[in-house]
């Protein structure tokens, strides 16, 4: 049981390049999330998808787009990367959308992105 | 969203109990209290959650104050593997956003 799988684990980009971070979960979860984590800080929500076919902005969505490809997969795209987007990106999922307080988050191992 | 306040860092000796505090004075009556931890170079992992009553699981115990304005995560016997950043977060019922603050960095000394 793989849980939440993110690819790639490491990526170096030049300013202005584009790339897509892929995330897949095999737990039949409805809700999926993308967070970023900067050094010494907590996680900040970029986008989330409460269920297949829906996406919503989180705290820091500017410069990013997302696609919920199907129930398993949720991708994060940087159209024109900037140095400020250098960060570690985490994908997460939870069992049921809108559960009343249970529904723990399961995280991937992270994708470390450097933009030069 | 109601916010939480945690100490930036704490130290503990191996095999001793650790009490990690969290203040959430603006918590609403229906917010759940969740704890996660993040080991070095890994994604966060769920530890425990509760609403009003104290909770125990194989990883830890959660003690919730009677007025729910604070809570304490208890690791009964710290091991070196427990060195991590611990996050206390509030989960709004049916909400989608888990808001993570900076957390508490726990160091465990051998």
Residue B76, min C-alpha distance to chain A (Å): 22
Lowest mean pLDDT among A41-50, B3-12, B66-75: A41-50
**Cβ separation B44–A105 shorter than 8 A:** yes
Give the E-state strand segments of chain A in sequence order.
4-7, 10-13, 19-25, 31-37, 43-49, 56-57, 64-68, 74-78, 87-94, 105-107, 111-115
pLDDT of residue B90: 87
Reading chain A (116 residues) residue by residue, the pLDDT tens digits are 679 999 999 999 999 999 999 999 999 998 899 999 998 778 899 999 988 889 999 889 999 999 998 999 999 999 999 999 999 999 999 886 555 556 788 999 999 999 99
Interface probe, candidates B30, B43, B64, chain A, greatest A C-beta count within 10 A:
B43
pLDDT of residue B64: 96
**Cβ separation A102–B100 shorter than 8 A:** no
Which of A102, A27, A25 is closest to B57 using CA atoms? A102
Lowest mean pLDDT among B9-18, B85-94, B100-109: B85-94
- Identify which of A40, A56, A107 has the shortest CB distance to residue B44: A107
pLDDT tens, position by position, B85-99: 999 988 776 566 677
Q: From CA B97, how far away is CA A59, in angstroms rounded? A: 9
């Amino acid at each position: 049981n793989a849980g939440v799988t993110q690819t790639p684990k490491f990526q170096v980009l030049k300013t202005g390049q584009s790339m897509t971070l892929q995330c897949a979960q095999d737990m039949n979860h409805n809700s999926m999330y993308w967070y970023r984590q900067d050094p010494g800080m907590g996680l900040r929500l970029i986008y989330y998808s409460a269920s297949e076919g829906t996406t919503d902005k989180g705290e820091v969505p500017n410069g990013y787009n997302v696609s919920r490809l199907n129930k398993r997969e949720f991708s994060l795209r940087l159209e024109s990367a900037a140095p400020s987007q250098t960060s570690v990106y985490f994908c997460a999922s939870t069992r049921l959308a809108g559960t009343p307080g249970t529904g723990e988050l399961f995280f991937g191992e992270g994708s470390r992105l450097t933009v030069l | 969203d109601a916010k939480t306040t945690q100490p930036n860092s704490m130290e503990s000796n191996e095999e001793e109990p650790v009490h990690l505090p969290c203040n959430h004075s603006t918590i609403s009556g229906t917010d759940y209290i969740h704890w996660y931890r993040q080991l070095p170079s890994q994604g966060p992992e769920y530890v425990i959650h509760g609403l009003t009553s104290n909770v125990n699981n194989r990883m830890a115990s959660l003690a919730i104050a009677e007025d729910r304005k604070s809570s304490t995560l208890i690791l009964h016997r710290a091991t070196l593997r427990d060195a991590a950043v611990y996050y206390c977060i509030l989960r709004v019922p049916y909400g989608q956003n888990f808001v993570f603050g900076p957390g508490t960095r726990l160091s465990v000394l051998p």
